[in-house]
Structure 1
Amino acid sequence: MSLNTCTVSGHLGKSAELRMTGSGLAVVSFTVAVNERQRQQDGSYSDYTNWLDCTMFGKRAEGLHPYLTKGCKVSITGHLHKSSWEKDGQHFSKVEIIVDEVELMGGRRETQQPEGAPPPEPVQSASIYDDDIPF
């Protein structure tokens, strides 16, 4: 049995790019910066940034695209996929995360809305004593 699952959180290095395949499938690509703390020989620590390429497909990707802006903090779950190709006689390959789930983790709501979008309606909380509860 094999297991191919990864979960990372970090900040987008630049805004996500949306493109469509010939069949009309939405493809959203973005890069997530994930910091890793490394101990140096002198005992001090420094941060190293891993830049992870991510790709998401379908209607959810198309809907999330406006929210995936530079600097946005996200948590993603997906699986690793290795692509290989040849160009001008040279062999290339890369490993990317095929995204299954995205959680926007940013602070203020205004930064999580696409530009020009109306402000969200306030959420109305339900009372635990609603008449609809059968007990």
Structure 2
Amino acid sequence: MAINKATITGNITRDPELRQTQGGTSVLTIGVAVNDRRKNKQTGEWEDYPNFIDCTIFGNRATGVAPHLEKGMKVAIEGKLNQSRWQAEDGTNRSKIEIIVDEIEFMSRQQGQTASKPVQQQPQQFAPQAAPQPMQQQPMQQFAPQPMQQPVQAAPVQQAMPMMQQAAPQQVASIYDEDIPF
């Protein structure tokens, strides 16, 4: 069994590029810089070594997130690694590894981003509301408890409890009696 799952966090390195395939599928490509921190053996200082990862988003998700992404934003991405291979114009074989995005999360906004570009995918509509009225102080007497009404008669719960208490140990025992499948 093989697991192909990648999770990264980093900053978008270029503005997203949204295009359509001949079949009409939306494809969004972004680059994400992920810093790897290492100690320089010569100076003893910690240094950042960036890794530039190409990420591709397909379908409706691509068109949905494209307007909200821009260079410099911090994102978290989860997806699958994919190796693309092709032959360059000079005849050499080329390849690159990219992440095919399953999930993307916006971790910060670009500096200077205004409220005109919200990070919501679906706009919400709210009914207009009247302006709030100032609170008036009321005497404490008005908040006295109201007389209690008679409660509605319900079936006694105690009769059902012994059945549940007896069934629980049998159910737990049957779970642990099963063989492990591997």
Whether the 8 Å CA contact 1:67–1:112 is kept in 2: the answer is: no
Larger helix fraction of residues: 2
Question: Equivalents in 2 of 1:67, 1:28: separation in Å?
Answer: 12
Whether the 8 Å CA contact 1:106–1:112 is kept in 2: the answer is: no
Runs of 4+ in 1 over 6 A off after TM superposition: 119-122
Q: Secondary structure at the match of 1:110?
A: coil
TM-score by length of 1: 0.79
Question: Equivalents in 1 of 2:116, 2:52: separation in Å?
Answer: 22
Question: Equivalents in 1 of 2:73, 2:38: separation in Å?
Answer: 24
Structure 2: which 5+ residue stretches go unaligned?
127-182
Query: CA distance change for structure 1 residues 25 and 84 in 2, over 3 Å: closer, same or farther?
Result: same
Q: CA RMSD in A?
A: 2.2
Q: Secondary structure at the match of 2:114?
A: helix
Q: Secondary structure at the match of 2:3?
A: coil
- Offset, 1:36: 1.1
TM-score by length of 2: 0.60
Q: Which residue of 1 aligns with 2:114?
A: 110
Matches for 1:50-129 after TM superposition, within 5 Å: 50-88=51-89, 89-107=91-109, 110=114, 113=117
Question: Equivalents in 2 of 1:38, 1:73: separation in Å?
Answer: 21
Q: Secondary structure at the match of 1:14?
A: coil
Larger strand fraction of residues: 1
Using CA pairs under 8 Å that are at least 6 residues apart, name the structure with larger relative contact order, 1 or 2: 1
- Offset, 1:110: 3.2
Question: Equivalents in 1 of 2:58, 2:116: separation in Å?
Answer: 20
For the pair shown, the structure with the greater C-alpha radius of gyration is 2
Query: CA distance change for structure 1 residues 58 and 74 in 2, over 3 Å: closer, same or farther?
Result: same
